[in-house]
Structure 1
Amino acid sequence: MGKISQGILGGFSGKVGSVIGGSWKGISYMRAKATSVSNPRTDGQVNQRTKFALVLSILKPITGFIRVGYKKYAIKQTAFNAAMSYILNNAVTGSYSDDYSIDFSKMLVSRGNLTGAVNAQATSANGVVTLTWDDNSGSGTATQTDKALIVVLNPTRAESVFDAGGNQRGFGTEDISVPADWAGENVEVFLGFITADGKEVANSVYLGSLTAA
């Protein structure tokens, strides 16, 4: 029960219905009583939590890479949160929590306005993933000194290997070693570029799913 201490027009302390009154530094205040929600589990909330957990499991293994790949979008948020938002909104498929999955072809591990890779491919042999691409220097904002941004992701293990400053665009190829115990497992491969001064980043290109060999 609330108590009025200074007449009908004064402030009050305690609770009256859904309103709580009190005083702070001599100033009377009123606020609405907080609604008590204990672990809400509506369909919409469950679906959103499931999506969030799925994207988080994909991004955690490449957290260090995302700091570089999404650096241009780390404005009033972290690069990781920017990546979470993009992938949640663009790369999650399915209608209900029990059939959500990631469409890796729509996932970007790097984002920016730098001209991206052209005719890029990936193969795997002898514990190495080999990426190749055309030297498209001079096209748009591409230059020979741009450095490759490479991710090889093993979603099953929630592990990755990546290079956030690889070979130059003009070199046209790079080898990246993967753990021996990945042999026979599927990996997802992405390629982007970053300028030599680290200021501009290209949208990554998805090079497909490979069986690590």
Structure 2
Amino acid sequence: MGIINQGILGGVSGQVGNVIGASWKGIDYLRIKPSSVANPRTEGQVDQRSKFSTVLRFLQTMTDFLRVGFKLYANKMTQFNAAMSYNLNNGITGAYSNYSIDYANALVTRGNLTGAFGGAATSPNAATVDVTWTDNSSSGSAMATDRALILLYNAVRGESVFTTAGPARSVGLESITVPSEYTGEDVQVFLSFVSEDGSKVANSTYLGSVTVA
């Protein structure tokens, strides 16, 4: 039974017919009870769930990184949800119901700051990945003081190693230490930049897969 606390136009709690009243952060709202579905596992639903779980497995390893990388797109949603939305639409490859992340088109940061140029990744030393780039601080909105955002994703382990406080764009190099257990395993490498005051972020650039020495 539903209860109307403040007259017919407000304060509804519980269920009245197929209308459910509730309150969130002091805001009263109404929603329609969804109709029962005879087959909740239709092909379309399974397909969407497969895509969703694929992106979720990827992004849930880098939640703290996304707070920086997608903060400019967290409009009435969390940074994580903004990243989910973008990558569900742009960062998946494969067919029903066998999907994987399309790393070349996926983004782990998003914004209009001028991105990386001439980026590359190697692993010349044990448990270390070196990321290099060309200083393009004279191009577009890029500044020499922009800080590097670097993320390494290990799909086998479902883990990410990253920094949100890398060296300045003008430096052109950062060495990232990874767990020794990563030796012989591949990591997917992404490079981006954030302005010194944190107000601008670049789209991430995928630098490819690197086998850890």
The TM-score range, normalised by the shorter chain, is 0.7 to 0.9
Change (3 A) 1:54 1:24: same
Where does 1:105-124 land on structure 2 (aligned, <5 Å)? Answer: 105-124=104-123
What's the RMSD between the two structures over aligned residues? 2.1
**Structure with the bigger percentage of helix:** 1
Residue identity in the other structure for 2:114: T
Residue 49 (1) aligns with residue 49 (2): yes
Q: Distance in 2 between matches of 1:24 and 1:210?
A: 61
Match in the other structure for 1:167: 167
SS of aligned partner of 2:193: strand
Q: Distance in 1 between matches of 2:39 and 2:191?
A: 40
Residue identity in the other structure for 1:119: G
SS of aligned partner of 2:201: coil
SS of aligned partner of 1:46: helix
Q: Distance in 1 between matches of 2:77 and 2:4?
A: 33
Deviation at 1:84, TM superposition (A): 0.4
Match in the other structure for 1:7: none
List gaps (5 residues or longer) in structure 1.
Answer: 1-13, 15-21
Match in the other structure for 1:101: 100
Q: Distance in 1 between matches of 2:62 and 2:16?
A: 47
Change (3 A) 1:128 1:39: farther
Q: Percent identity?
A: 55
Runs of 4+ in 1 over 4 A off after TM superposition: none
Residue 138 (1) aligns with residue 138 (2): yes
Match in the other structure for 1:11: none
Where does 1:9-158 land on structure 2 (aligned, <5 Å)? Answer: 24=4, 31-32=17-18, 34=33, 35-37=35-37, 40-97=40-97, 99-124=98-123, 125-158=125-158
Q: Distance in 2 between matches of 1:60 and 1:24?
A: 40
Residue identity in the other structure for 2:113: L
Q: Distance in 2 between matches of 1:39 and 1:182?
A: 43
SS of aligned partner of 2:84: helix
Change (3 A) 1:39 1:197: farther
Q: Distance in 2 between matches of 1:141 and 1:179?
A: 35
SS of aligned partner of 2:53: helix
SS of aligned partner of 2:184: coil
Q: Distance in 2 between matches of 1:147 and 1:96?
A: 39
Provide the aligned length of Structure 1 versus Structure 2.
Answer: 192
Task: Provide Cα deviations, 1:166-204, integer angstroms capped at 9, x if missing partner.
Answer: 000000100000100011111000000000111100001
Task: Provide Cα deviations, 1:25-53, integer angstroms capped at 9, x if missing partner.
Answer: 675x9744852237710001011111111
SS of aligned partner of 1:165: coil
SS of aligned partner of 1:104: coil
Q: Distance in 1 between matches of 2:78 and 2:16?
A: 35
List gaps (5 residues or longer) in structure 2.
Answer: 9-14, 20-32
Q: Of the two, which has the highest radius of gyration?
A: 1
SS of aligned partner of 2:61: helix
Q: Distance in 2 between matches of 1:50 and 1:190?
A: 24
